[in-house]
Structure 1
Amino acid sequence: MRFRQTLLSRYLLIVIFAFLFIPIVFPLASIGYVIIQENSKQADDNFLKYGSSRELTAMWHGEAALLQETEAAEVDRRLQELKRKYKEASLFWVDSSGATKLQLPPQSLLPERWSPADAVRFMKDSIDSDPFTIVSFLGAEHKGRAFMVMQMPRSIIQLDRPVGAGTPFYIAALIGMISLFFLISLLFFRRIRKRLIGLQAAMALQGENGLPQPIAISRNDEIGQLETAFNRMVGQLKESAERERAEAELRKQLIASLSHDLRTPLTVMNSQLYTLQKEPLSEKAQAAVKQVEHKISGLDSLIENLLSYTLMASGRYPIKLERLDLLRIVRESVASWYPLWEQEGISADIDLPEEAMLLTLDKAGFRRVLDNLFQNVTRHAKNGSYIGIRMGTYDGRAALVIRDRGNGLAAHSASKGAGLGLAIVEYLLHEMKLGWHMASSDEGMAVYIFEL
């Protein structure tokens, strides 16, 4: 991946811009401010009616240089011409003796004869005041004592622009550049956040097969590499799920075929045992036949459990939930098992209340749970010669308790058939929203079944 395509390169570009902002951008902004100010000033001068004060002053000095005190009539005539040109101006001139000559227009505040003090006071009052005052001595070299004066309202020669009027534009430019920097940073991190949130959403979103869907790769940067790795992982998960599905299907078919192939010879063996039992046999032979019959029955039950567990693992075991009386199902199951318990010498201690205990159950499934638990007692706890079935409590909740006096959990765990049967019990109870607990001790085992 090329460096310029990485998030690091783009972030470094933003950082470099930030470092260059103060030493470079501020001077550039200052130069731009000065240029704008100068251009604005020239534009203002062009907009003025009689030009700027500097231009007006140069004109007045030029006119005074062309006039002589000895030509008083010429001075009056020229002032009258200037008055017609500069209508807003006030003009007058004073000769070398201090006498005020022509006034355009007449001004009552002007002294008729000027003393040095009057001249100094007039100049002092005219500095930075309104009207704008220009004083120029007559003659080419301005060395005479006669002088002429022009007074012009300042509103005519300058716009109403305060000093530093361009400062708001300067500040606005700086704020704009700072805002641009923050906007670029915000957009950069916002885009990263948006892509990460999109990746997170893709991880949480599941398709029809329960797996995340691949996402489109927008850029070939670090997040793009992460997106590529995510798509690769999704592809591997899909391949693994497909392989697992195929293996599960193959396993199911294999178990179904194997169960069918095993049941056929078991049926033949059962028929042969039935024939053999009709023959006169010694006690030892009869015991052997009975043991073989018992093992065949256990093997048949194991095959049935294997088929059922395969259906459960694939989610295809039928469950029909309805409100049923749990105690009635227990009594029906106990009635079917009672003859076998008598035959095996197991004493059954049944103590169930008469009132109904309604729960949401699958009747066939709960019968299967009881059959597996009773079968475990019959096969693995027969030495205790006892099975107790009664109502009790577990963790403060009403519970059905099935108790034996066998060797405890070790004896049950030693048999693979018992383990498969208990796995079926756990699955069926979970589907019926029932909990269960096994408590083992030296005195035997107790199984608690209760509503969650």
Structure 2
Amino acid sequence: MRFFKSLQAKYLLIILMALFVVQISLLISGFIWLNASVEDVERGYAGIEDKWHQDAGGIKNGTEDTVMQLFKEWKQAYPEASMFWVNDNGHLSAELNVTQDLPAEWDPVYTAEFIKERYDGNPYTVVAFLGQEHNQGFIVFQIPRMIMENASSDKTKILSITSLVLIILFIIVSLFFFRRIRKRLLYLQKAMAVRDVDNLPVSIHVKKDDEIGQLETAFNNMVHELRESHQREQEEEQLRRELIANLSHDLRTPLTKMRAQIDTISNEGLSNDVYQAFHRLEGSIDHIDRLMENLMSYTLLTASKMKYQPQKTDILRHVRTSLAAWYPLFEQESFDIDVNLGPFEQNEWLVDPLWMDRILDNVLQNVIRYAKEGRYIGVTTESASGYDVIVITDHGPGIYGNAGEKGVGIGLSIVDMMVRQMGLDWNMESGEHGTVVRIKRMKQKPQGETVDT
């Protein structure tokens, strides 16, 4: 049952109609038309002969006027015909529309030869005696056979036109069939490009149970599976965020207590080695606290719950202020600090100051943790044809060069999300001779001018 609803069955039906129904119709109609044409020609000749004999026999007084009156009547019916009368004395007495040279006197021998030559020839010739007594001579009717056969030719043209019409009809039906298929495929293509608020495709209405309908059904099943998968993913993501938030909160409480106990013990009289051990322990606790803070920030950013408040900010002054808070740490670690912040064409950037602080803190914190060996930190500015750039450089082994230090990934992920959400760009080049971080802002493009990026 499904096969008869398929596109294949419909197209096979069109082919069968073209191959069998149309062909059989053409053969039957052609046979009928040809037979009818032959019969019409034969019937036409027989009708002319019978009528000519009848009209000739109906003339009682064979005079030139009566014969010419008969010729004129036939001339109206057959304009191409020629007619003449030879009386009982063998004299050519009347003629109409005759183009050939005829003798004025006809003897029996010439008459017999004329009838013999014209029998079943062209033009078609009919000879009939005038009057019932056959004593008034004979009249001759001649007409080109082409005139009689034109009817058959016209019917052949009609048959050819009918065949052409049937072929065109088949082409139109086929085009209509494939046009509907194309229209449905284009509809399906457009439906695949439509997205809802969750950026998922939308189900479409299935109208027919054919191959395209089955494809539409498969598409709807895929959409349903995608929605179920997306819903499960959202539920798992929500569960993960809640778990991270709860874990961060639960871990910060004991870390705070540990820091308080370390401060209490540090105030007691301790040997230098013990004091250094407690100092390293306090640094580890601070590191864990920063990791938890990064984890919380990353969770909020991915959930779009960290509020973004952009405002015009003097970026050079902001970078100097952030660096000032890090100076003591870099000096404590004996870093060579090189700051050269040249002015931009436009020093005001549209950024969130708190987010910018977080970006700089994460980058500088990575320098403290992973570039101690280089003992160098450089912060400079550059201006390219399309960008203003803040460049932060160190001479460490690279963020991937020290296998003993972990935890850089989440900090840089936070940098990436914050930078891009503020409409900025950034890149990082890290190798065995150091790391370079560039934070870029595209210059405002004057009207009518392009920026080479």
Do the structures match in fold with TM over 0.5? yes
Superposed, which structure 2 residues align to 1:31-430 within 5 Å? 31-34=31-34, 37=37, 54-55=46-47, 57-59=49-51, 61=53, 75-76=60-61, 88=73, 94-95=87-88, 98=90, 115-116=107-108, 119=111, 134-136=127-129, 146-149=135-138, 164-354=153-343, 357-392=347-382, 398-411=388-401, 415-430=405-420
Contact persistence 2:123–2:142 (CA under 8 A): no
Q: How far apart are residue 264 of structure 1 and its match?
A: 2.1
Contact persistence 1:88–1:152 (CA under 8 A): no
RMSD over aligned Cα atoms: 4.4
Counterpart residue number, 1:70: none
Deviations 1:99-149 (A, max 9, x none): 899x9x9xxxx999854478579978999779x965127779xxx7x3554
Contact persistence 2:41–2:149 (CA under 8 A): no
Structure 1 distance, partners of 2:105, 2:428, is 132
- Supply the AA of the counterpart residue of 1:200: Q
- Larger displacement relative to structure 2 (52-61 or 340-349): 52-61
Secondary structure of the corresponding residue to residue 168 of structure 2: helix
Residues 351 and 122 of structure 1: CA distance in aligned 2, closer, same or farther (over 3 Å): same
Structure 1 distance, partners of 2:55, 2:183, is 75
Structure 2 distance, partners of 1:330, 1:369, is 11
**Where in structure 1 are there 5+ consecutive unaligned residues?**
46-51, 68-73
Contact persistence 1:349–1:388 (CA under 8 A): yes
Normalization by structure 1: what TM-score?
0.77
Contact persistence 2:399–2:435 (CA under 8 A): yes
Structure 1 distance, partners of 2:32, 2:199, is 62
Secondary structure of the corresponding residue to residue 329 of structure 2: helix
Structure 2 distance, partners of 1:427, 1:224, is 43
Contact persistence 1:412–1:419 (CA under 8 A): no
Structure 2 distance, partners of 1:203, 1:100, is 93
Contact persistence 2:52–2:126 (CA under 8 A): no
Residues 289 and 197 of structure 1: CA distance in aligned 2, closer, same or farther (over 3 Å): same
Secondary structure of the corresponding residue to residue 324 of structure 1: strand
Q: How far apart are residue 273 of structure 1 and its match?
A: 2.8
Q: How far apart are residue 309 of structure 1 and its match?
A: 0.7
Contact persistence 1:412–1:418 (CA under 8 A): no
Structure 1 distance, partners of 2:197, 2:191, is 14
Q: How far apart are residue 179 of structure 1 and its match?
A: 0.6
Secondary structure of the corresponding residue to residue 440 of structure 1: strand
Q: How far apart are residue 421 of structure 1 and its match?
A: 0.3
Structure 1 distance, partners of 2:357, 2:46, is 115
Counterpart residue number, 2:427: 437
Secondary structure of the corresponding residue to residue 207 of structure 1: coil
Contact persistence 1:133–1:149 (CA under 8 A): no
Residues 296 and 121 of structure 1: CA distance in aligned 2, closer, same or farther (over 3 Å): same
Q: How far apart are residue 55 of structure 1 and its match?
A: 3.6
Q: How far apart are residue 261 of structure 1 and its match?
A: 1.6
Q: How far apart are residue 392 of structure 1 and its match?
A: 4.5
Contact persistence 1:135–1:147 (CA under 8 A): no
Counterpart residue number, 1:49: none
Secondary structure of the corresponding residue to residue 76 of structure 1: coil
Deviations 1:36-66 (A, max 9, x none): 6579889xx9xxxxxx66345325546878x
Counterpart residue number, 2:99: none
Structure 1 distance, partners of 2:110, 2:9, is 76
Residues 440 and 59 of structure 1: CA distance in aligned 2, closer, same or farther (over 3 Å): closer
Paired residues, what number? Answer: 425
Contact persistence 2:314–2:348 (CA under 8 A): yes
Q: How far apart are residue 202 of structure 1 and its match?
A: 1.2
Q: How far apart are residue 422 of structure 1 and its match?
A: 0.8
Q: How far apart are residue 280 of structure 1 and its match?
A: 2.4
- Supply the AA of the counterpart residue of 1:12: L
Counterpart residue number, 1:71: none
Q: How far apart are residue 166 of structure 1 and its match?
A: 2.6
Structure 1 distance, partners of 2:38, 2:167, is 25
Deviations 1:136-177 (A, max 9, x none): 27779xxx7x355467898xxx99965512333222211111
- Supply the AA of the counterpart residue of 2:11: Y
Structure 2 distance, partners of 1:413, 1:21, is 82
- Supply the AA of the counterpart residue of 1:183: I
Secondary structure of the corresponding residue to residue 430 of structure 1: helix
- Supply the AA of the counterpart residue of 2:46: R
Structure 2 distance, partners of 1:215, 1:228, is 8
Structure 2 distance, partners of 1:100, 1:256, is 131
Residues 255 and 187 of structure 1: CA distance in aligned 2, closer, same or farther (over 3 Å): same
Q: How far apart are residue 16 of structure 1 and its match?
A: 4.3
Q: How far apart are residue 338 of structure 1 and its match?
A: 1.3
Contact persistence 1:29–1:174 (CA under 8 A): no
- Answering whether residue 28 of structure 2 is matched by residue 7 of structure 1, we say no
Residues 396 and 40 of structure 1: CA distance in aligned 2, closer, same or farther (over 3 Å): same
Normalization by structure 2: what TM-score?
0.77
Q: How far apart are residue 6 of structure 1 and its match?
A: 2.8
Q: How far apart are residue 313 of structure 1 and its match?
A: 1.5
Structure 1 distance, partners of 2:223, 2:49, is 86
